[in-house]
């Protein structure tokens, strides 16, 4: 199984098996870090998938929009 995993990671780094195994471990750690990062990004997208601003009466909506725009440094003319 290790041999197949190493082949999946890419070309053998050197002619020395011990050194190539060390390189494969480093490549595996890099792959795991990428995988964790991508899982976190997708989880965040799913978590905020359907976020909507709170439903406010019309009188409070202008006040809410002004507050949000100031927080986000958004300028609407």
**Over 70: is that where the pLDDT of 75 sits?**
no
CA atoms of 29 and 35, how far apart (whole Å): 10
**For residue 65, what pLDDT is reported?**
67
CB 53 within 8 A of CB 46: no
Q: Where are the domains of the chain?
A: 2-71
For residue 73, CA distances in Å to 51, 54, 77 come to: 20, 20, 13
**Over 70: is that where the pLDDT of 70 sits?**
no
pLDDT in tens, 36-49: 999 999 999 998 88
Residue among 52, 49, 51, 53 at smallest CA distance from 63: 53
> What is the overall mean pLDDT for the chain?
82
**For residue 55, what pLDDT is reported?**
72
pTM score > 0.85 for this model? no
């Amino acid at each position: 199984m290790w041999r197949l995993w190493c082949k999946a990671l890419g070309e053998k780094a050197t002619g020395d098996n011990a050194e190539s195994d060390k390189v494969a471990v480093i490549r595996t750690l890099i792959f795991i870090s990428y995988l964790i990062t991508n899982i976190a990004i997708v989880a965040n997208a799913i978590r905020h998938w359907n976020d909507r601003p709170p439903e406010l009466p019309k009188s409070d909506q202008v006040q809410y929009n002004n507050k949000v725009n100031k927080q986000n440094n958004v300028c609407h003319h």
